[in-house]
Amino acid sequence: MKNLLIVSQCMEQGGIERSLIELLKALDRERFRVLLLLFAHTGPLMAEIPEDIRLLPENPRLRDMLLPIKTVLKRRDWSVGGARLFAKSLHRLQGKTGDAGVYGLLEEVHYRAARLLPLPAAPQGGWDALLSYQWPHNYAARIPAKRKLAFIHTDPAAQSLNFRRDAVTLSAFDGIACVSGGALLSFQRLYPSLADRSFVFENLLSRTGVWERAEAFVPEDMPLCPDGPTLLSVGRLCYAKGFDEAIRLSARLQAIGFAHRWYILGGGTDAAALRSLAQSERADCIRFLGERPNALPYMKAADAIVQTSRYEGRCVAVMEALTLGKPVMLSPFPTALSHITPGVDGVLLPAEAAAAAECIAQRMQDKALLLRLTVNARARDVSGYGQLERLYGMLELQ
């Protein structure tokens, strides 16, 4: 049996973490002894890590990569805290701002600090295989293993990175798994030297698990709209998810007299700003649910799932919605067509706000279309389990 080490950051409530849980459940225990290394043992999904997965003890210096810099310096971890502070200062001097700049900052931080972090003790004979599940991959790149794979969960083209430097880091891996065809195309364009190592490995999703969680309870804190459809958007409250656009669309729907109720489920750094925007836009149909450990009962109760993302790798919420047979409407982010086929199992909204609002109003009143979307979505297999043999083959090559 081979020793497989999986490296990630924490287990907060997000698509990457949820897909990791699905992968941990699916891995063949006859082939691999699976060990999990997390930078921090935090997040609601810690409780869902399978019992037979060996979780390595938390290392305080790895945890310091996720804590506020002030906290790290108070703990007197001068090397990691100092490296992070230097990276942040350098990033500011380079004038990189906005959400895309956040990824650039993360890359800068990990480039400077990951080399200072302690490596996990290897078993006798060393690590047979390693999966680095969450970018940046600088730390996992330093861990010796016979076979190494890195996962890309976002659209690289949407980020402001030092791509040449990141390519050097990724060259330590034998394979690069991109979670959608769109993400793969972006990766190959931006990392041409690694194109032959890259492939698509979509997030795994258990149909049975989705339905079990969806039927866990009836969400009484999400009253349905009595005069029109109930719409739902799910995800972290951050720039990438574009919930500010959802608020503006709701205000436009309200202005044209389209009765609806639009719920936003999730937590994040932009929560206060989004609530303020809803007030200033007079988007009275918007409701904030906050973060929930299980979003699926809310998705099951809604009439449609609307994701107004600016970019995605592969949105787990969309795949869950399709599994539940929910009509899905997406903004035209670059990888949207890797998620749905417009008119078949989803709706691609126009880029212009007024047209997008009209599209939502018209489609939500087209009962034949909604039924077709539901039937086709339920028939589609988005589980991804057929990919596992290819993954095993890449990990087991000698």
pLDDT tens figures, 99-132: 556 777 788 888 888 899 999 999 999 999 999 9
Same domain, 9 and 158: yes
Give the pLDDT score at 56: 98
Query: Is 238 a residue whose pLDDT tops 70?
Result: yes
Same domain for 33 and 109? yes
Q: What is the mean pLDDT of residues 3-19?
A: 94
Same domain, 308 and 200: no
Same domain, residue pair 244 and 155: no
Say if residues 268 and 237 touch (Cβ distance below 8 Å).
Answer: yes
Indicate if 233 and 291 belong to the same structural domain: yes
User: Does some domain include residue 301?
Assistant: yes
CB 2 within 8 A of CB 128: yes
Q: Is 296 exposed, middle or buried (0-12, 13-18, 19+ CB in 10 A)?
A: buried
pTM: 0.89
Regarding predicted confidence, which is higher, 319 or 14? Answer: 319
Task: Write the CATH number for 196.
Answer: 3.40.50.2000
Q: What is the structure's pLDDT at 355? A: 97
Q: What is the pLDDT at residue 112? A: 85
Q: Is residue 320 classed exposed, middle or buried when 0-12, 13-18 and 19+ CB atoms within 10 A define those classes?
A: buried
pLDDT at 157: 86
Average pLDDT on 16-40 reads: 96
Say how many C-beta atoms besides its own lie within 10 A of residue 315's C-beta.
27
Q: Kindly state the average pLDDT of the residues 57-76.
A: 89
Q: What is the pLDDT of residue 161?
A: 82
d(CA 197, CA 165): 17
pLDDT above 90 as % of the chain: 81
188 and 284 both lie in a single domain: no
How distant, in Å, are the alpha carbons of 39, 85, 94, 96, 338 from that of 102? 19, 14, 13, 8, 25
Residue 122 is predicted with a pLDDT of 94
Q: Is there a domain that residue 129 lies in?
A: yes
* Whether residues 388 and 325 fall in one domain: no
pLDDT band at 336 (very low <50, low <70, confident <90, very high): very high
Q: What does the block give as tokens for 110?
A: 């990990």
Q: Is the pLDDT of residue 201 over 70?
A: yes
Q: ∠236-89-160 over CA atoms, to 5°?
A: 50
Residue 371 has pLDDT above 70, yes or no: yes
Q: Are residues 173 and 311 in the same domain?
A: no
Average confidence (pLDDT) over 300-329: 96
Is residue 83 in some structural domain?
A: yes
Q: What average pLDDT does the chain have?
A: 93
Domain containing 267 equals 217-379
**pLDDT at position 257:** 96
Q: Are residues 96 and 236 in the same domain?
A: no
Total domains present in the chain: 2
Which residue is associated with the tokens 């041409």? 192
Confidence band, pLDDT 50/70/90 cuts, at residue 84? confident
Does 211 map to a domain? no
Whether residues 297 and 390 fall in one domain: no
Indicate if the pLDDT at residue 260 is higher than 60: yes
Same domain, residue pair 162 and 222: no
pLDDT of residue 19: 95
Give yes or no for residue 398 having a pLDDT over 50: no
- 272 by Cβ neighbours in 10 Å (0-12 / 13-18 / 19+) ranks as exposed
Same domain for 260 and 352? yes
Residue 210 covered by a domain: no
